[in-house]
Amino acid sequence: MFRYFPTNYVWNLSVDLAIEMGARIGEIETMCAPLHEAAKQPDAEGTRAFREAWVHMADRLCELAEEDEACGRLLSAGEKYKRASVYLITCERMLAHDSPGRVELYKRLLDTFEKGTRLAGDNCERVEVPYGDGHLSGLLVRAKGAAERAPLLVQVNGLDSTKEMKYFVGLPSWLAERGVSSLVIDQPGTGEALRLHDMHAVYDSERWASSIVDWLETRTDVDPKRIGMEGVSLGGYYCPRAVAFEPRFACGVVWGANHDWRDVQKKRLQREGDFPVPHYWKHVCWVWGAKDIDDFMQIAENVHLDGVLDRIRVPFLVTHGEKDTQIPLAWAQRTYDQLVNSPKRELKIFTEREGGAQHASFDNSINAGHYIADWVAEVLGGRTHL
């Protein structure tokens, strides 16, 4: 794990995630070198300084991109806009939900991401999936060289990630090379669903997952018999739950098991385990629509997989980092052990040898991500070679 701020796990996590999304080390040095003292300050003060530094770099890149556009150099402009959106994603994620200007910052990162991927010619289309009286926003990445109806992997966020973050880390592009499409979704409690539409997380993830499958079944470019699901971090709870109660999914993958999130919360009340974001308790109350911590802890009582996983009768891959300090490794074993009716279950622990040993492989995602992409391609009928 790269530790730019030796005493601050949350800030190190943010920097490492930015690197995994494509940040450049020289720009990281420019942004972070002045922040060592701020990293020791209380959440509100420290994150304010973090935001200012990272927004300033995004501003600089957007100015350079505009200069490229004026010269007709759209590919160069697109790359700079994409990297600017990485820096906006990183600092927006660090803010308290009620921080002044957060919604405006979030809307800016969406616009910057869209402009960057469009000018760069990325294989990425924004889509909207009907859900209730509204919609869930997603990014569709199409399989390369696939038949008319391609297999597809639905990918969902954890507690504090977004569809743009998951797109940049790379699993959709790795799958596309293997003949598998991707739909990366901001499900309730994350991304646009939470920030712009006030949709809070729900423990019965099949509620929104079934709507996603309904929509995918209407598309002529998706094979309805080959739709899988992957979840990262807290998605390691959402995904198994959804696959258990939505039998149309053809497989499941967790990138970081999260078998008993209620227990994790009880431990965190005792200051056990690392927090993923500053102002953690305010954040989880916001995500789940809780009035206060007591209300949140009541909601969290439902967020576990005991008594659920024996319903799964499709292939399932459980992955976990050997040195995960957020979610104990034992929960990955528990998930695997309870997949008693899966015809092809696998437990893969990522170690320092291959990288990705930290939580959800944020320390080094590429080898772990390729392992997942290969497994999905083999199960859903993609390819693992040219």
Specify whether 19 is located in the same domain as 144. Answer: no
For the cut 80, the answer to whether the pLDDT of residue 147 exceeds it is: no
pLDDT band at 237 (very low <50, low <70, confident <90, very high): very high
| pLDDT (0 to 100) of residue 6 | 86
pLDDT at 271: 84
pLDDT digits (tens, 9 = 90+) for 76-93: 999 999 999 999 999 999
CA dist., res. 282 & res. 327, Å (int): 20
How far apart (Å, rounded) are the C-alpha atoms in residues 370 and 42?
Answer: 38
Residue 276 φ/ψ, nearest 5 degrees: -80, -25
Mean pLDDT (the chain, rounded): 96
Domains in the chain: how many in total? 2
Partners of 345 in beta bridges:
316
Burial of 255 (0-12, 13-18, 19+ CB in 10 A): buried
Residue 300, in any domain of the structure: yes
CA-CA distance, 172 to 203, in Å (whole number)? 26
Rounded CA-CA distance 36/18 in Å is 17
Is residue 131 domain-shared with residue 110, that is, in the same domain? no
* Predicted pLDDT at 44: 74
Asked if pLDDT for residue 46 goes beyond 90, the answer is no
Domain boundary among 95, 119, 143: 119
**Tokens matching residue 196:** 């712009």
- Residues 27, 72, single domain; the answer is yes
Tell me which of 5-9, 76-80, 108-112, 241-245 is least confident. Answer: 5-9
The DSSP bridge pattern shows strands 125-131 and 134-141 to be antiparallel
* pLDDT score of 364 more than 90: yes
Q: Judge if 132 and 104 occupy the same domain.
A: no
Co-location of 20 and 100 in the same domain: yes
pLDDT at 29: 96
pLDDT at position 319: 98
Nearest Cα to 348, choosing from 258, 241, 255, 259? 255
Give the domain range for residue 246. 124-380
Question: Does residue 3 surpass a pLDDT of 90?
Answer: no
Q: Is 322 exposed, middle or buried (0-12, 13-18, 19+ CB in 10 A)?
A: middle
Check residue 39 and give its pLDDT. 86
Within a domain: 170:
yes
